[in-house]
Chains A and B, each alone.
Chain A
Amino acid sequence: MSRVTSAAESPRPAGDEPLLKLAGISKSFREVEVLRDVVLECPPGEVHAIVGENGAGKSTLVKVVAGAHQPDRGTMTLDGRAVSFHHPRQAQAAGVSIIYQEFNLLTDRTVAQNIFLGREPTRGPLIDRRRLEEDTVALLEQLNVSGSISPRAKISDLSVAQQQIVEIAKALSFDAQILIMDEPTASLAPPEVEALFEIVRQLRERGMLIFYVSHRLKEIFALADRVTVLKDGDQVATTDIGSLTPDSIVRLMVGRELSDYFPELAAPDDIGEVRLRVRGGSNQHISDIDLELRAGEIVGLAGLEGSGRTEVAEAIFGVEPFETGTIELDGEQVSIRRPRQAVDHRIGFVTEDRKTQGLVLPRSVLENTLLPLRTLSGHDRREREAVHEVAEGSTLTMQLAERVDLRAASLDQEVRFLSGGNQQKVVFAKWLASDAWVLLFDEPTRGIDVGAKAGIHDLMRGLAKRGAAVLMVSSELPEVIGMSDRIVVMSHGRIAGELEAGASEADIMLLATGQSNGDGPDVRHPAEEVAAAKTAQEDQAAETAEATADSELSEVTSNPHDDQMGHDPGEVSG
């Protein structure tokens, strides 16, 4: 563990006694250490960013400060006094408030009722409504939003940004000295982000210590005074923001350069015969799908949300089968009406939603990995087991776990305790175990952090190299471009065109938005057409643009259910 020390660790200007001191904070879940010996001294009036990949321990660290987790070792000193919080309420009373990504607000109640929940000013036995509202207005005035948010507004009528401000007002009502914000901008639009920054800066002026947990480096450089980088539970660095660059932060976080992000594409020799051919496939969602997947090849399936990408994968896998048209596997026509048959035909499907569709959460790594094998009848199973050259389940699982670089406490660990990236690796191991030849991936890296993403991409390429035919549905254009040997673009339930490896985002967007008929890779486009396509395409492009702008660190689509920073107490990062 190398810790970058810098001037920032020496005392700040005189009079700035540290507001918060952490010494040797460590925390384990189920014998997995997720936080190791964190040492921190923060003065008041600082914005302190906490960065790291998913599973690095950011969330655990701030939850320890906020009293939601109790450290196994280490001490915490607040304003010169040693404190140990057994409950978030104690922390709140001591001046530490936390705002989670998912807000703690009662959506059917008003702003004022939420802020003073359980502490309503009373007159006799009744709530003093006037004072309640006056106090609320006073708080909102401090944040310069009393004009836009009424104390009587119902939370459900507010925008996400406004709800966040209510959370901040609530923290102020507790006289918070320390405010922790967990991915505060995850669901904010750019102007709202700017407004939030204004508020954060203002709170800093007033001497508040703000912990800012975020993936988005751009924001951190815009806002933070100091940064703590965590990696696998280790405090890799705590330093002034000025001494770092986005690249150096990423290096500290993942221990490698961003340029290794995608593995190499297939060489022409790597690509073999057609493994899977769909002809004229149609069902109620998609029509006239003609698609070929070749051994050794990764085909990217791009398109807008709702263009039918996922439906193509689902139809091939028999979830919602084609009603007309044919599927051929290695030249032989097959009928796939149910997932069961797809598995028989050596097709594997890595679904977008791991937690409900990919894994049986309360079962072990071992059982999840071996499940597809166990659905097969004796002969089929033996044939596929023979590929692995080990017959016994736990040996096989161990071997596969090593192959996908799974990090789990043991093979008997329930998969619900794994981080998102590791869960996805179990899904991989599962289809490796079943020796699938055609693999369908639907958003394989959604909700997975940068380091694990690269691992997943390597695994996908590795599968192709071993002769599998791979179809990858993805909303992330950089991923489509970086991974695909061929790109098929969908629009309105049909295939709009096909592009060769290395096509540009503009090429894909043109097809996806129906601006071009896409006769192969030679799509020519006048510049204005590109511009038009991009405008028409705001939603999709905004995500992509954001990803690029943030050094590809943000999770492009932050799905709260998929997120590692969720509040599942059972979540073990690592």
Chain B
Amino acid sequence: MSDTTKPADEGRVPQRQQPAASRLDRFGGHALEHLKASAPILAVLIVIFAAIIYLNPAFLDPPVFLAFLRRAAPLMILAAGQVFVIVSGGFDLSVGSLITVTVVVAAAITEGDPDALIPVMMLVLLIGVLVGMVNGVVTTMLKVPSIITTLGMLLILRGAVFYWTGGSPTGALADNFRQFGREAFDLPVIGQLPYAAIIVIAVAWIATRLLHRTAFGHQLLATGGGARAAQLTGVNITRVRIIAFVLSALSAVIAGILLAGFAGVSAQVGQGYEFRAISAVVLGGAAIGGGRGSVVATVIGALTLEALFMLLNLLGLPQPLRESVQGVIIIGAVVYAGLRLQRSGG
């Protein structure tokens, strides 16, 4: 027995040593890793897609499918941010309110003025960084559990928006602000490729690199898996956790910008998104409590959740029950993850 077995690692042979073959190996290795982490949720997604197609064959038409993707994009991005906080061992409940803030602030300030695009984008991103910093600093330095910190932030932001707008936000978003969530490139064959789809792919790719291929990502996973051990190995756990909250907040701002493209300006626009994002992360198999999680699986989890909502719609399930179904599946997903972990433990 014994021996660290080499075959398991052939996928990571450094390029320098085997220039020709290794690039493929390396790619194959990583892709395989992500596939392994995503396999269960991918299977669920395929089943749900199959059911949708059975009920509504038009779903496969590129415009219909791409419209679905566009609608799913904000959640996919939000979940890709949320997973950073969850693998670090926390929660970020403030993201729904932050989406609302993004939309409402942008509308109030631009008042439909297209020239305001850049400053407004900068402003909302800055707000995101600030909110994330506050979440992170309060959680790490003041030692408030993140679920409380971000619940507090959720209420603070929600209250502020209501106070500021009196419950009915005014102003309008310029078309060039709405284009990200609404417009699409014209392409041959498939017709249109929404900007949103490209943004999702870009965000997911960056997030994947960040969590799984950088020193920061590994330190974050280590912090979530064993904060004390990570700290005693030299990880600045305060810093990496604060960064995780900032990333989550930034993902909320980006999700808000996309959502602004097709949702109206309202004081409720982001409500419920925090729970959907957490559900998506859980569906993607990340461990609540930290230490384990995959961006790719999380993004697929978000897509699955949106597909499920669509399926429930097609089945004629009343809207309010969506929440209940969501409740059932997140509990189910955690139960499943627990069983899977036990089994792999022998």
Contacts and interface: CB of A to CB of B under 8 A. Distances in A.
B5 A372 contact: no
Interface stretch (A222-230, A256-264, A350-358): A350-358
A302 interface: no
A361 to B, nearest CB: 6
11 contacts: A232-B2, A340-B235, A344-B234, A351-B232, A356-B226, A360-B226, A376-B234, A393-B12, A410-B8, A412-B8, A570-B345
Given A340-B234, A362-B292, A370-B218, A394 B12 contact: yes
Contacts of B13: 392, 394-395
Contact of B232 (A349, A368, A393, A406): A349
Contacts of A391: 14, 16
A233 B12 CA distance: 31
A361 B218 contact: no
B136 to A, nearest CB: 17
Contacts of B2: 232, 407, 574
Contacts of B12: 392-395
B218 A406 contact: no
Given A367-B221, A392-B12, A569 B229 contact: no
Interface string B209-229: 000000100110110011011
A569 B342 contact: yes
B311 to A, nearest CB: 33
A569 B221 contact: no
B3 to A, nearest CB: 7
B214 to A, nearest CB: 9
Given A360-B222, A374-B219, A410 B234 contact: no
Interface residues of A, number: 58
B9 A412 contact: yes
Given A360-B222, A408-B4, A569-B346, 13 more contacts: A356-B228, A357-B232, A359-B226, A363-B225, A371-B235, A392-B13, A392-B16, A402-B4, A407-B1, A407-B3, A409-B8, A417-B345, A434-B234
A562 B146 CA distance: 30
Contacts of A356: 226, 228-229
A375 interface: yes
A342 interface: yes
A430 interface: yes
B230 interface: yes
Interface string A418-459: 000000000000100010000000000000000000000000
A411 interface: yes
Contact of B218 (A233, A358, A374, A410): A374
Contact of A30 (B228, B235, B344): B344
A219 interface: no
A100 interface: no
Contacts of B226: 356, 359-363
Question: What are the 8 A-B residue pairs with the smallest beta carbon separation, nearest first?
Answer: A570-B345, A343-B234, A392-B14, A29-B346, A410-B8, A374-B215, A375-B234, A360-B225
In terms of DSSP, what is the predominant structure of the interface of chain B?
Answer: loop
A532 interface: no
B96 interface: no
B19 to A, nearest CB: 13
Interface in A519-570: 568-570
Nearest to A375: B234
A351 B215 CA distance: 23
Nearest to A393: B12
A339 interface: yes
B221 A375 contact: no
Contacts of A334: none
A391 to B, nearest CB: 7
A319 B221 CA distance: 21
B290 to A, nearest CB: 8
A194 to B, nearest CB: 37
B279 to A, nearest CB: 22
B233 interface: yes
A112 B219 CA distance: 51
A343 B345 contact: no
Nearest to A343: B234
A416 B340 CA distance: 16
A365 to B, nearest CB: 8
Interface in B232-281: 232-236
B56 interface: no
A367 B228 contact: no
Kindly name the residue among A32, A339, A360 whose own CB sees the greatest number of chain B CB atoms within 10 A.
Answer: A360
A398 interface: yes
B225 A410 contact: no
A406 B228 CA distance: 23
Interface in B1-41: 1-6, 8-9, 12-14, 16-17
Contacts of A98: none
B231 interface: yes
Contacts of B77: none
Given A32-B1, A392-B14, A574-B1, A358 B229 contact: yes
B116 to A, nearest CB: 39
Nearest to B9: A394
A393 B9 CA distance: 11
Contacts of A30: 344-346
Interface in A385-409: 390-395, 398, 401-402, 406-409
B218 to A, nearest CB: 5
Nearest to B341: A570
Given A233-B1, A359-B226, A569-B342, A319 B16 contact: no
Contacts of B344: 30, 570
Contacts of A394: 9, 12-14
A490 interface: no
Contact of A360 (B16, B234, B291): B291
A30 B232 CA distance: 30
A135 interface: no
A572 interface: yes
A569 B1 contact: no
Contact of B235 (A361, A375, A412, A574): A375
Contacts of B231: 339
B287 interface: yes
Given A358-B232, A417-B345, A398 B4 contact: yes
B339 to A, nearest CB: 12
Contacts of B6: 398
Nearest to A358: B229
A363 B342 contact: no
A371 B222 contact: yes
Contacts of B346: 29-30, 417, 569-572
A126 to B, nearest CB: 37
Interface in A490-528: none
Interface in B129-163: none
A33 interface: yes
Nearest to B33: A412
A322 interface: no
Given A392-B14, A393-B12, A394-B12, A319 B229 contact: no
A218 B202 CA distance: 66
A417 B287 CA distance: 17
A323 to B, nearest CB: 20
B233 A371 contact: yes
A344 B233 CA distance: 10
A569 B341 CA distance: 11
A394 B30 CA distance: 13
B4 A406 contact: yes
Contacts of A371: 218-219, 222, 230, 233-235
Kindly name the residue among B5, B222, B229 whose own CB sees the greatest number of chain A CB atoms within 10 A.
Answer: B229
Kindly name the residue among B226, B231, B233, B287 whose own CB sees the greatest number of chain A CB atoms within 10 A.
Answer: B233
Contacts of B9: 394, 398, 410-412
A412 B9 CA distance: 8
A555 B69 CA distance: 60
Given A32-B1, A359-B226, A372 B291 contact: no
A212 interface: no
A317 interface: yes
